[in-house]
A and B are shown apart, each in its own frame.
Chain A
Amino acid sequence: MLRYLARKLLWTAPVLFAATTCAFLVLHLIPGDPVNLMLSGRPASEKVRENLRAKLGLNRPLPEQYAHFVLHAARGDFGQSFATGQPVSQVIAQQLPASLQLAGSGFLIGVAGGLLLGIAAGLYPNTVIDGIAMFIALVGISMPGYWTAMLLIYVFGLRLGWVPIVGSGLPVLILPSIVFGSYAIGNLARLVRSSIIDVRGEDYIRTARAKGLPERRVVLRHALRNALFPVVAMMGLLLGLFIGGGVITETVFARQGVGALLVTSILTKDYPVVQALILLTTAAYVFANVLVDLLYGVLDPRVRYG
Chain B
Amino acid sequence: MSKMRDGRLSRRSLLGGAAAAALAGSALSELVSEASAQGRADAAVTWGEDQDYATLDPRVTQSRHEAQAIMQMFESLLFLDTDGKFYPWLAQRWEYSKDGKSIMFVLRRDVKFHDGTPFNAEAVKFTFDTIVDPKLGSQGAIDFLGPYKSTDVLGPYTVRVNWTEPFAAALTNLSNPWLLSIVSPTAVRRLGNDGFARNPVGTGPFKFVEWVPRVRVVMERNEEYRWAPRVFRRQGPAALRRLVIRIIPDATTRVAALEKGEIDVCDQVPPIEVRRFQGSRDFDVMVGDVSGIPLSHLINTQAPPTNDLRVRQAYMYAINRPQVVQQVFFGVAKPAYGPITPTTPGYWPGVEKMYPYDPAKARQLLDEAGWKVGSGGIREKNGRPLEIHFITLLEPDLEVAVQAAAKEVGIKLNVETVTKAKQDEMVMHAQYNIGEIRWVAVDPSVLDIPFFSRNIPAPGKFKFNWSRYGSPELDRLLRQADGQVDVKQRQQTLAQIQKYVLDRALMFPVHVSAQPIGFRRIVRNLKFAQGYWQVLFYEATVS
A234 at interface by CB-CB < 8 Å: no
Contact present for B424 and A33 (CB under 8 Å): yes
Given contacts A44-B143, A85-B55, A166-B257, list 20 more A-B pairs with CB under 8 A.
A42-B140, A43-B446, A43-B450, A44-B62, A48-B142, A48-B143, A52-B139, A55-B137, A84-B54, A84-B194, A84-B197, A84-B198, A153-B256, A154-B256, A157-B260, A158-B259, A167-B262, A256-B215, A260-B214, A267-B420
B312 at interface by CB-CB < 8 Å: no
Contact present for B137 and A252 (CB under 8 Å): no
Which chain A positions have C-beta within 8 A of B257? 165-166, 254
B134 at interface by CB-CB < 8 Å: yes
Contact present for A161 and B143 (CB under 8 Å): no
B464 at interface by CB-CB < 8 Å: yes
Which chain B positions have C-beta within 8 A of A37? 420-421, 424
Closest Cβ of chain A: how far from B208's Cβ, in Å?
16
Which residues of B come within 8 Å of A, CB atoms? Answer: 52, 54-55, 62-63, 134-140, 142-143, 193-194, 197-198, 212-215, 246-250, 252-254, 256-257, 259-260, 262-263, 393-394, 419-422, 424-425, 437, 439, 446, 449-450, 461-464
Q: Which A residue sits closest to B460, measured CB to CB?
A: A33
Contact present for B214 and A256 (CB under 8 Å): yes
Contact present for A252 and B213 (CB under 8 Å): no
| 10 tightest Cβ-Cβ pairs between the two chains A and B | A32-B421, A31-B425, A43-B449, A254-B248, A85-B194, A51-B134, A55-B137, A83-B54, A42-B62, A36-B462
Closest Cβ of chain B: how far from A156's Cβ, in Å?
11
Given A33-B462, A94-B213, A166-B246, are A44 and B253 also a contact pair (CB < 8 Å)?
Answer: no
Which chain A positions have C-beta within 8 A of B54? 83-84
Q: Which A residue sits closest to B197, measured CB to CB?
A: A85
Given A32-B425, A46-B461, A166-B262, are A264 and B52 also a contact pair (CB < 8 Å)?
Answer: yes
B421 contact from A95, A161, A269, Cβ within 8 A: A269
Mind listing 24 A-B residue pairs with CB under 8 Å? A31-B424, A32-B420, A32-B425, A38-B139, A42-B63, A43-B143, A43-B464, A44-B143, A46-B461, A46-B463, A47-B142, A48-B139, A50-B134, A51-B138, A51-B142, A94-B212, A161-B260, A165-B257, A166-B263, A251-B250, A252-B250, A254-B247, A254-B253, A264-B52
CA distance A73 to B527 in the complex (A): 48
A150 at interface by CB-CB < 8 Å: yes
A74 at interface by CB-CB < 8 Å: no
A41 at interface by CB-CB < 8 Å: yes
Contact present for A91 and B213 (CB under 8 Å): yes
CA distance A80 to B63 in the complex (A): 20
CA distance A51 to B193 in the complex (A): 15
Which chain B positions have C-beta within 8 A of A30? 421
Interface range, A side: 35 or more
CA distance A264 to B249 in the complex (A): 12
Which residues of A come within 8 Å of B, CB atoms? Answer: 30-33, 36-52, 54-55, 80, 83-86, 91, 94-95, 150, 153-154, 157-158, 161, 164-167, 251-257, 260-261, 264, 267, 269
Q: Which B residue sits closest to A85, measured CB to CB?
A: B194
Given A32-B424, A33-B462, are A51 and B250 also a contact pair (CB < 8 Å)?
Answer: no
Closest Cβ of chain B: how far from A257's Cβ, in Å?
8
Q: Which B residue sits closest to A35, measured CB to CB?
A: B462
Contact present for B214 and A164 (CB under 8 Å): no
Q: Which A residue sits closest to B60, measured CB to CB?
A: A85
CA distance A106 to B137 in the complex (A): 41
Contact present for A164 and B250 (CB under 8 Å): no
Closest Cβ of chain A: how far from B439's Cβ, in Å?
6
CA distance A37 to B259 in the complex (A): 34
